[in-house]
Amino acid sequence: MSEQPTIEVRNLRTHFFTKAGVVKAVDDVSFSVGKGRILGLVGESGSGKSVTGFSIMGLVDPPGRVAGGEILFQGRDLAKLSEEEMRKIRGARIAMIFQDPMMTLNPVLRIDTQMIETVLAHDKVSEAEARKRARAALVQVGIPSPDERLKAYPHQFSGGMRQRVAIAIALLHKPELIIADEPTTALDVTIQGQILFEVQKLCRESGTSLIWITHDLSVVAGLADEICVMYASRIVEKGTVDEVLDHPLHPYTRGLIGSVPSRNVRGRPLAQIPGMTPSLLNLPPGCAFRARCPRASEACLVEPEMTAPLPNREVRCFHPHLETVAA
Ligand SMILES: Nc1ncnc2c1ncn2[C@@H]1O[C@H](COP(=O)(O)OP(=O)(O)OP(=O)(O)O)[C@@H](O)[C@H]1O
Ligand code: SF4
Ligand SMILES: [Mg+2]
């Protein structure tokens, strides 16, 4: 990969300075996504996935802030931009799709009004041209009778259709990067599959890079090129989807995969790995997974660093499952 990645996050730290103490929601997170590539960001609830997405978007509110690291978007550090500069990028060049489409949609405005306003916010085009683009975006996400649908209000759509509209809005400016934060979790499995298929196709065709956030490993199995597994604010394993799923190195990833019945079954949540995610406020020293880890040893009382024990594989563990790869 000699080409510059669309997004490169280096040693990102996003902390919440609360009365109870500092919550290190994202701690030393690094990854990059190339043009037209799809990264799956996977982990249990509270592991820091959404905060990672919000950090890239510049949407972390006090008492939280990006406390360190770089967020290089086509080589430019977003963490250093002013709110005004960030506003120009947000929506036009980097778009976010949320779990709840009503985070994007305005309930009291017709779909055409919202979409046309979105186009005009960043592009000096005529209203007729903006309408044409809005219509094309609805067609792109597989919405039937787009002319009719443009005149409707959000409440006149089903949940799946509403999410498609939110995705269409994210696509309006042909962003270079889309961050999708569990947008299909609430949807029916069939609709989820259709949306994943369409989004994947769009990325391949338009060269858009995608970060797909999910707690559901089976979703990224069919969608992503690379996976980052997060645990307690950190990335614990990174690699191509096939390698990570076929030969997981980290005991946590192994636990996650053990809980997915089949790589072809979508939409099933992860079964529980025994134990609880530790509180980020009082993380014990050493490896954060220690209390739940079948491989834990004395060595794990020290914080493990990210290492690359095999080509193109990274893992944060003293005792990775290298034996599964040897064969
Ligand atoms: N405003 C806030 N103030 C304090 N802590 C926060 C705040 N927002 C998030 N956090 C903490 O940051 C951590 C990471 O949260 P985040 O929302 O990124 O998790 P997640 O991986 O997206 O989980 P989920 O799967 O439930 O969406 C959590 O421990 C959460 O308590
Ligand atoms: S470092 Fe130790 S405790 Fe942590 S995951 Fe690896 S083996 Fe388990
Ligand atoms: Mg989240």
Query: Which residue, 124, 145, 172, sits at the end of a domain?
Result: 172
Q: Does the beta carbon of 16 lie inside 6 Å of ligand 1?
A: yes
Distance 278 CA to ligand 1 centre (A): 13
In this structure, the answer to whether residues 260 and 140 fall within a common structural domain is no
In this structure, the answer to whether residues 124 and 66 fall within a common structural domain is no
Please state, rounded to an integer, the average pLDDT across all residues of the chain: 91
From CA 56, how far away is CA 194, in angstroms rounded? Answer: 27
In a domain, 22, yes or no: yes
Please tell me the number of the ligand nearest to residue 270's CA. Answer: 1
**DSSP characters over 191-252:** HHHHHHHHHHHHHHHH--EEEEEES-HHHHHTT-SEEEEEETTEEEEEEEHHHHHHS--SHH
Q: Find the domain containing 271 and state its range.
A: 7-93+176-324
Query: Where residue 2 falls among pLDDT bands split at 50, 70, 90?
Result: low
If you take atom 6 of ligand 2, which residue's CA is the nearest one? 317
Neighbours of 175 (CB within 10 A): 22
Please tell me the number of the ligand nearest to residue 309's CA. Answer: 2
Q: What is the pLDDT of residues 250-260, one digit of tens each?
A: 999 999 887 65
Count of the separate structural domains present in the chain: 2
Q: What is the CATH number of the domain that holds 64?
A: 3.40.50.300
In this structure, the answer to whether residues 58 and 158 fall within a common structural domain is no
Q: Does the beta carbon of 24 lie inside 6 Å of ligand 1?
A: no
Q: Given this model, what pLDDT does residue 260 score?
A: 56
Q: Given this model, what pLDDT does residue 304 score?
A: 97
Q: Does the beta carbon of 270 lie inside 6 Å of ligand 1?
A: no
In this structure, the answer to whether residues 73 and 194 fall within a common structural domain is yes
If you take atom 7 of ligand 1, which residue's CA is the nearest one? 16
Query: Which residue, 122, 153, 172, sits at the end of a domain?
Result: 172
Q: Given this model, what pLDDT does residue 202 score?
A: 82
In this structure, the answer to whether residues 210 and 294 fall within a common structural domain is yes
In this structure, the answer to whether residues 278 and 252 fall within a common structural domain is yes
Q: What is the pLDDT of residues 10-33, one digit of tens each?
A: 999 999 999 999 999 999 999 999
In this structure, the answer to whether residues 26 and 54 fall within a common structural domain is yes
Q: Given this model, what pLDDT does residue 324 score?
A: 78
Q: Please list all protein residues whose beta carbon sits less than 5 angstroms from ligand 3, which is an ion.
A: 50
Query: Which residue, 139, 172, 205, sits at the end of a domain?
Result: 172
Neighbours of 194 (CB within 10 A): 17
In this structure, the answer to whether residues 311 and 226 fall within a common structural domain is yes
Q: Given this model, what pLDDT does residue 263 score?
A: 45
| Range in 96-110, 167-181, 200-214, 275-289 with the lowest mean pLDDT | 275-289
